[in-house]
Structure 1
Amino acid sequence: MRVISGTAKGRPLKAVPGTGTRPTTDKVKEAVFSMIGPYFDGGRALDLFAGTGGLGIEALSRGMEQAVFVDKDSKSIEVIRENLKTAKVEGKAEVYRNEAVRALKALAKREVRFDLVFLDPPYRMKDMDALMLLMKEQRLLNDGATVMIEHDSSHTYPEEAGSFHTVKHSVYGETAITVYRYNEEDGDNEELTQDEEDQA
């Protein structure tokens, strides 16, 4: 694994020991950033199931101003810190060991808002659309924010979820990438419709 492009291009990234973490391959990572970038003019990113930190580090290398890395595994946290130093972007990063929902609520208390979110959980977790709605509820996203989900290609996420609209979807073997755009203005009407459907 390596940083593919930007200020840290070519720098090697360590993997997390053991089999519990599945890092995004360089091929898929390159495809992801061709969908969402490929480069950025500032902004803040959140790498929520960070693993090695590869996605968030790539975003920093490509121009994101700040990034927050969250993982509940202590080995992952150690590897993320090492990889940030290798890429020389540790000054732009915050790293937290926490479970995803608790981390989102903690960030909301600080009134942090993100422009780009990476959701690359273990493939058995298929509720990332619920996490996106929690991000909206907690006011964690700037209008126009991009949310990327990496997931098992056998699972399909909805084209729309509240204020989130699919803008890209690609499959790479067993891996799929779904990219959403967040639009604040669309949320209230669509959520009302969803509530009406729930009551029906």
Structure 2
Amino acid sequence: MRVIAGAAKGRKLQTIEGLSTRPTTDRIKETLFNIIAFDLPQSNFLDLFSGSGAIGIEALSRGATQAVFVEHNPRCQRVIKENLMHTKLDKQSRVIGLEVPMALDQLAKEKGKFDIIFLDPPYEAGLTEPTLLKIVQGGLLNKDGYIIVERSAQIPLASIPGLRVLREKEYRTTVMTFLCLEEENI
């Protein structure tokens, strides 16, 4: 796995061996970042269920001002920090070592606001909808921002009060769903 473009282009990233993480493939990552390329400069990026941190690191490499990584697994946290040091993007980042619901509560208390929020929870764990609800309830998404959910094509995404689907990009077994705030929530 590597950084595809930007300031850290070509740098290899460590991954977590033996855990049930599913790193986003370079092909999917490249397509995703081509879609959001114009929104990245000067953005605040939130990477939930971060794993190795590859998505947030790519966002920083391509111009995001700041990235917050949320990952509760201590081994993954170490890998994220090592990847950030290796890419020299550590000064623009923060790693929160909590379960996602608790981290979202903490960010809401801090009045955190993000332009782009990426989440890639374990597909079968049923965490997507509760996480999206917490993001809306915590007011964590900027009014012009959006959320990207990576999910299995086999698992539909339930409608979330306060959010609407902007677009979906389907790959063979994976779907990227882009959501924004409904007008009345802005």
Counterpart Cα distance in 1 of 2:4 and 2:37? 13
Contact 2:121 2:127 in 1 (8 A): no
Q: Per-residue deviation at 1:154?
A: 0.5
Residue 121 of structure 1 and its aligned partner are, at CA, apart by: 0.9
Q: Please identify the structure whose Cα radius of gyration is greater.
A: 1
Residues of 2 paired with 1:161 and 1:32: CA distance? 22
Shift of 1:38: 5.0
Shift of 1:37: 2.4
- Deviation of 1:17 (Å): 2.1
What CA distance in whole angstroms lies between the structure 2 residues aligned with 1:36 and 1:182?
Answer: 17
Q: Is the 8 A contact 2:119 2:149 kept in 1?
A: yes
Once the two structures are superposed, the pairs formed by residues 1-200 of structure 1 within 5 Å of their partners are 1-38=1-38, 40-158=40-158, 161-183=160-182, 185-187=183-185
Partner of 1:193: none
Task: Tell me how far apart the structure 1 counterparts of residues 185 and 6 of structure 2 sit (CA, whole Å).
Answer: 34
Residue range with higher mean Cα deviation, 33-42 or 6-15: 33-42
CA RMSD of aligned residues (A): 1.6
- Secondary structure, counterpart of 2:83 in structure 1: helix
Distance 1:122 1:38 in 2: 28
Gaps of 5+ in 1: 189-200
* Count of residue correspondences: 186
Structure 1 residue 113: Cα displacement: 0.7
SS in 2 for 1:132: helix
1:39: how far off? 5.5
Contact 1:36 1:146 in 2 (8 A): no
- TM value normalised by structure 2: 0.93
Q: CA deviation at 1:133?
A: 2.1
5+ residue gaps, structure 2: none
Deviates more, 1:41-50 or 1:173-182: 173-182
3-state SS of paired residue (2:125): coil
Query: Which portions of structure 1, spanning 4 or more consecutive aligned residues, are displaced by more than 3 angstroms?
Result: none
- Tell me which amino acid in the other structure corresponds to 1:150: E
Task: Measure, in 1, the Cα distance between the counterparts of 2:118 and 2:125.
Answer: 14
Q: Secondary structure at the match of 1:161?
A: coil
Query: Structure 1 residues 137 and 39 mapped into 2: Cα distance closer, same or farther (>3 Å)?
Result: closer
The answer as to whether partners of 1:42 and 1:64 remain within 8 angstroms in 2 is yes
